[in-house]
Structure 1
Amino acid sequence: MQDASPTKLLIVDDLPENLQALDALIRGERREVHHAGSGEEALALLLQHDFALAILDVQMPGMDGFELAELMRGTEKTRPIPIVFVTAAGKELNYSFKGYEAGAVDVLYKPLDPGAVKSKVEVFVALHQQREAMRQQVLALEAARRQQEEMQAQLQHALLMRDEFMSMVSHEMRTPLNTLYLETQLRKMQLDRGNMAAFGAEQLRRMLSRDDRQIQNIVRLIDDMLDVSRIRSGKLSLRPGLVQLAGLLGRVVQDLTPQAATVGTTIVLDAPTPACGWWDDFRIEQIVVNLLTNALRYGGGQPVVVTLAVMADSVRVDVRDSGPGVALENQGKIFEPYERGVGSDAPAGLGLGLYISRQLAEAHGGSLTLSSVPGAGAVFSLTLPRTEAPPA
């Protein structure tokens, strides 16, 4: 594809009538001719533009054409520009030798031959356009090479993540399934022995509780994977309804209080102001449960505080823990899929909770952010737009 930018030519002469006459000879379609009345003015233009050819008058007051050419050859930007000298001096002064010595590609004597001038300019314009086209092709090839390398790196990363993901899924699914399998084998053994006392009311209640817990773990893993698939395919749908957020937070805190007790801590809810809005209560509860579960896991046995702040057109739910906090370099990573903490701190699960939670918040037109100082805990803030009328 041909470059649409014009080809730039520079003519330098201290006499305006010479500039006009030469301009008339070399101007053409998609050409941009610049005039300079002195060497100093020419240098300023040379630093601003990329010229295909510079036509310099030899005899100028102050800086002459040879001195200007010497300066051009000493600067990397202007060194490649072809130079044609123009002179009114007689050939006996041997300006041709001096011009070629100064790096010129040609020396023209006045009066100029219009045909010769036009043909020479045509040659240098064509050469410049060919060089520019080749340069663009080289740039395009280099860009394509970099893009291919990036795509290969992304593909390798995707394959690595796929393998890691399959490994995580296998491990996380195997744990509850192994537990269920061992429980089943144990009951079968008791039945084969005729030991019906092992199936009393209290024993059955404990068995069902363990079964339910393991089944819920499997369902949670499957739900997380389905949510990620829906998010990435753009098929995640919300079912907004009028939600009383303080009430929802109270129910979630009450449901998770036994879990908090098992790690020796409590959940404190500070939601004195009712706040109603049109949200998907199931998805909002999913976000809050994820945040509280993480806070209990990383909170170091210290109380977790849930605060509801109500603004004019939005609400904010802050979940604060007093754990070790999150290092600055990891604060962006933890919202990416399959991130499960660092080293020995990596919890069970697929590392999808915070990723799904942020996507759900943004699907509501809100946000999920983190504020943390290592050693001083972490605060996850869920912000949601608030309206008491159904969304359009």
Structure 2
Amino acid sequence: MSQLEPSNVLIVDDLPENLQALDALIRDDQRVIYRAQSGEEALALLLDHEFALAILDVQMPGMDGFELAELMRGTERTRDIPIVFVSAAGKELNYAFKGYESGAVDFLHKPLDPDAVRGKVKVFVTLDRQRREARRHIEELERSRREQEALLCQLNATQEELQRSLNMRDEFMSLVAHELRTPLNTLFLESQMRSLQIKRGNLAAFAPDKLDAMVRRDERQIKAMIRLIDDMLDVSRIRSGKLSIRPAQVELMALLDRVVSDLSVHASAAGGSIALRPHEDVGGCWDEFRIEQVIVNLLTNALRYGGGKPVEVSVNADSDQVRIEVRDQGRGIAPEDMLRIFEPFERVARNGEPKGLGLGLYISRQLAQSHGGELSVVSTPGEGSVFTLTLPRCESSGAAPEQPAAETTDHHP
């Protein structure tokens, strides 16, 4: 427990010798004595300090003790300070009655009885210390209550976050099982059909043209599972700080042309199309594999939610940076979903729309930021969305150093 500060006692008398005598009488280690020779001086001190007791001389020129007491009782800051009046006037003037009427706790006649004065001052100083001690305890209790409330709020938030994590884990496991089951079921049914054809001796089912179609179907299902596993591994690397970037000189338009060409077949099969607007060659120092990963994610997302309408890819570049825009004409993104879509495992698919793990945009933004760039979106519900990948055009000599091989051997195929 911290030591309490000494109590303040105010003595007011127009005669310096009276002040000095009273000061000497009541001074103590637990008290600080303030002197005032007029009501005006006393009021100034009362505004600056808290007092355990005020001892006022009644008969003073100008503002007398009664007038000072009246002012003290009329002010919030000073109205509860105990007042003891001191007077040399005879008892026949009935000053004591007037003093008690003005709110005094006692009235002393001069010459003062030293023991009585010391005893009264001790009582009020003790009461003041008890009051301040009680106030300090109340403040400590209030502080403790606020700390407990803050701790409780923090605990509740932690519990909610834990429950959210548990729910996310359960949902994630369910989603992974569902996403893996689809290609595995397809592969299983294909193998069953082939076994049946072999048992029946129907070798015509394995003619070169049909066998080639079988292989392509198998590859699609296997690639779907590989993409799913790669996404989960990337999330783990991002959260552990082990996602590496290996920058090198990249010709962007050639990369985009290759990706658009590869995905156009998939887009046509889904009744859509992808167009790359012409642009002069754009060079930069990036991790080509990771940038391709982002573009594939953006285009796949645009095809998935674009409602079968055309998707356009365009490039804008200056000396400092390059901006790649992927524009679709789908239903757009609601304002409340604009930030959420970049969080892991968040999906905004509606009924009838394809679902996924909700990792693509999260991984893509992390990859953009790891290049010193940004991935943003502008969308108007009913009018489609524009995702913009912004990358700095750094030189290879200023690129970030490659991570140790132990952390990168499984990052790139």
User: What is the CA distance between 1:117 and its match in structure 2?
Assistant: 5.8
Q: Distance in 1 between matches of 2:106 and 2:201?
A: 115
Q: Distance in 1 between matches of 2:352 and 2:32?
A: 73
Give aligned-pair identity as a percent.
Answer: 42
Q: Distance in 2 between matches of 1:248 and 1:8?
A: 80
Q: Distance in 2 between matches of 1:163 and 1:245?
A: 40
Do residues 162 (structure 1) and 169 (structure 2) align? yes
- Number of aligned residue pairs: give it: 359
SS of structure 2 residue aligned to 1:344: coil
Q: Distance in 2 between matches of 1:389 and 1:220?
A: 29
Query: CA distance change for structure 1 residues 92 and 350 in 2, over 3 Å: closer, same or farther?
Result: same
SS of structure 1 residue aligned to 2:387: strand
Do residues 230 (structure 1) and 237 (structure 2) align? yes
Matches within 5 A, 1:126-275: 126-275=133-282
* Contact 1:8/1:53 (8 A) holds in 2: no
User: What is the CA distance between 1:371 and its match in structure 2?
Assistant: 0.5
Matches within 5 A, 1:227-376: 227-344=234-351, 346-376=353-383
Matches within 5 A, 1:41-56: 42=47
User: What is the CA distance between 1:254 and its match in structure 2?
Assistant: 1.2
Q: Distance in 1 between matches of 2:41 and 2:310?
A: 78
* Contact 2:259/2:292 (8 A) holds in 1: yes
| 106-115 or 88-97, larger mean C-alpha shift | 106-115
Q: Which runs of 5+ in 2 are unaligned?
A: 34-39, 57-64, 88-94, 401-413
User: What is the CA distance between 1:96 and its match in structure 2?
Assistant: 5.7
SS of structure 1 residue aligned to 2:323: strand
Q: Distance in 1 between matches of 2:350 and 2:369?
A: 29
Aligned partner of 1:338: which letter? Answer: F
* Contact 2:52/2:128 (8 A) holds in 1: no
Q: Distance in 2 between matches of 1:278 and 1:207?
A: 40
Aligned partner of 1:332: which letter? Answer: L
* Contact 2:332/2:379 (8 A) holds in 1: yes
Deviations 1:174-219, CA, capped at 9 Å, x for gaps: 0100000010011111111111111110110111011000001111
Query: CA distance change for structure 1 residues 66 and 301 in 2, over 3 Å: closer, same or farther?
Result: same
SS of structure 2 residue aligned to 1:305: strand
* Contact 2:327/2:384 (8 A) holds in 1: yes
* Contact 1:190/1:196 (8 A) holds in 2: yes
Q: Distance in 1 between matches of 2:311 and 2:9?
A: 77
User: What is the CA distance between 1:150 and its match in structure 2?
Assistant: 0.9
Q: Distance in 1 between matches of 2:246 and 2:27?
A: 72
Query: CA distance change for structure 1 residues 55 and 202 in 2, over 3 Å: closer, same or farther?
Result: farther
TM-score, normalised with respect to structure 2: 0.75
Q: CA RMSD in A?
A: 3.7
* Contact 1:55/1:85 (8 A) holds in 2: yes
SS of structure 2 residue aligned to 1:378: strand
* Contact 1:275/1:310 (8 A) holds in 2: yes
TM-score, normalised with respect to structure 1: 0.79
User: What is the CA distance between 1:274 and its match in structure 2?
Assistant: 2.5
SS of structure 2 residue aligned to 1:64: helix
Query: CA distance change for structure 1 residues 52 and 363 in 2, over 3 Å: closer, same or farther?
Result: farther
Query: CA distance change for structure 1 residues 292 and 137 in 2, over 3 Å: closer, same or farther?
Result: same
Aligned partner of 2:81: which letter? Answer: V
Q: Distance in 2 between matches of 1:145 and 1:183?
A: 56
Q: Distance in 1 between matches of 2:190 and 2:41?
A: 94
Query: CA distance change for structure 1 residues 67 and 369 in 2, over 3 Å: closer, same or farther?
Result: same
Choose which of 76, 93, 100 in structure 1 pairs with 2:97. 93
Q: Bigger radius of gyration, 1 or 2?
A: 2
Aligned partner of 1:93: which letter? Answer: F
Query: CA distance change for structure 1 residues 52 and 86 in 2, over 3 Å: closer, same or farther?
Result: closer
Deviations 1:273-312, CA, capped at 9 Å, x for gaps: 3222221111110001110111112222222111111123
Q: Distance in 1 between matches of 2:332 and 2:289?
A: 28
SS of structure 2 residue aligned to 1:372: strand
SS of structure 2 residue aligned to 1:162: helix
Q: Which residue of 2 aligns with 1:31?
A: none
